[in-house]
Amino acid sequence: VIGGSYNVLSTDIFKQVVGQQNFSMGAVTSILLLLPALLAFTVDRWVQKKQKSLFDTRSVAYQPEPSSLRDGLCFLYCTIISAAVVIVLGMAIYGSMVTFWPWNKALTLNNYNFAEMSTYGWAPFFNSLTLGAWTAIIGTVLIFLGAYCIEKGRAFGPVRQAMQMLSVVPMAVPGMVLGLGYIFYFNDLSNPLNFLYGTMAFLVINTVVHYYTVGHMTALTALKQLPSEIEATAASVNLPQYKLFFKVTVSVCLPAILDLATYLFINALTTTSAVVFLYSTNTIPASVSVLNMDDAGQTGAAAAMAVMIMISAASAKLIHMLINKLFEKRTQAWRKR
């Protein structure tokens, strides 16, 4: 949107595939884009090998002592960063109420009448909410259970190591490369999974895979807070592992689980890179609708849809904070000294 004539590989992939229908050249560019990502992936794995968990049953959360100078400087710094973010978002809100940017700056709410601005109307917005909800529910369950099996499992060591490697691969794959891979694989009529192509389930699968790695790392970090002594104690009193999982593991890791669900929901709302190649007329998400309306010169309507995405994401975050606050005293008392 803001790149103009300045070309980068990701926008070049989009132009090759969407603009010129040249999937082969898009795939070649994707491979080039994959190389620096693989380098970053290798460095990350090297750094992670040097990390160790030092939590045990006597560990307590670190609480720094108040310091007027340090806290004041940190507050000032965060205020400046927050102001910069608010100014950018404020301009988007203002732009959504401008009649025709930049020629007619009279304020209006007509840009929010998407039925007149696009043939899809409000459908992309509700598609995004559906995509976000299913991604948050399914993704959170799959990611947390996968991390639990890898971190707390004791049998099938080689299999767990392979699962760990596969779980961090999506981090090294740019979204557009992932989208092209899905096109080549699922759009083949001889593929028995071809029936998924163009469905909401297809977008949910893609989005969960796309953001799997960060969620997996979040879940692993939370699980590492559980000392191994707890499992040994549970085994000594013949407590079934599933009861330990629901009564202890889920309770202690609840903040991380809520963070994971919110992360998946918000990213599903805003993702463009992969789904821009995968949607159908019935599943077009709001983020892609913003891109299409901006390409069509409907800047005000594009800004309005972007504002609706922003409001939804902010609402999700507020709900997350409320739920987290409600369960904090019940599940996180162990963090208090």
pLDDT in tens, 121-152: 899 999 999 999 999 999 999 999 999 888 87
| Cα separation, 76 vs 73, whole angstroms | 5
pLDDT at residue 325, rounded to an integer: 87
What global pTM score does this model have?
Answer: 0.83
Helices (H), the chain: 9-14, 23-48, 68-96, 114-117, 123-152, 157-168, 175-186, 200-210, 212-223, 228-236, 241-244, 250-252, 254-270, 286-295, 299-331
Reading the block at residue 112, the tokens are 């929010």
| Cα separation, 312 vs 320, whole angstroms | 12
pLDDT at residue 317, rounded to an integer: 95
* Residue 109: DSSP 8-state: S
Q: What is the CATH number of the domain that holds 130?
A: 1.10.3720.10
* Statement to judge: residues 29 and 78 lie in one domain: no
pLDDT at residue 145, rounded to an integer: 92
Residue 13 lies in a domain: no
Contact 42, 49 (CB under 8 A): no
* Statement to judge: residues 137 and 169 lie in one domain: yes
The helix-helix angle for 286-295 and 254-270 (nearest 10°) equals 30
Residue 116 lies in a domain: no
Reading the block at residue 205, the tokens are 């699968």
* Statement to judge: residues 38 and 80 lie in one domain: no
* Statement to judge: residues 239 and 274 lie in one domain: yes
* Statement to judge: residues 99 and 221 lie in one domain: no
Residue 317 lies in a domain: yes
Q: Which position has the token pair 């099938």? A: 156
pLDDT at residue 332, rounded to an integer: 67
Residue 61 lies in a domain: no
Could you give the C-alpha distances from 150 to 143, 146, 246, in angstroms and in order? 11, 6, 17
| Cα separation, 245 vs 151, whole angstroms | 13
pLDDT in tens, 296-335: 888 899 999 999 999 999 999 999 999 988 887 776 665 6
* Statement to judge: residues 167 and 291 lie in one domain: yes
Of 25, 38, 18, 270, which Cα lies nearest the Cα of 174? 38
Which of 83, 108, 133 is the last residue before a domain boundary?
Answer: 108
pLDDT at residue 51, rounded to an integer: 66
Reading the block at residue 177, the tokens are 């490369």
* Statement to judge: residues 158 and 233 lie in one domain: yes
Residue 4 lies in a domain: no
Residue ranges of the chain with pLDDT lower than 70? 1, 51-61, 331-337
Sequence-separated (6 or more) residues with CB below 8 Å from residue 155:
none
Residue 8 lies in a domain: no
pLDDT at residue 233, rounded to an integer: 75
* Statement to judge: residues 202 and 103 lie in one domain: no
* Residue 65: DSSP 8-state: P
Reading the block at residue 308, the tokens are 């609706």
* Statement to judge: residues 159 and 270 lie in one domain: yes
State how many domains the chain has: 2
* Residue 245: DSSP 8-state: I
pLDDT at residue 52, rounded to an integer: 62
| Cα separation, 104 vs 100, whole angstroms | 5
Domain residue limits at 257: 19-50+123-335
Residue 198 lies in a domain: yes
* Statement to judge: residues 139 and 184 lie in one domain: yes
* Statement to judge: residues 199 and 321 lie in one domain: yes
* Statement to judge: residues 223 and 277 lie in one domain: yes
Residue 63 lies in a domain: no
- 224 three-state secondary structure: coil
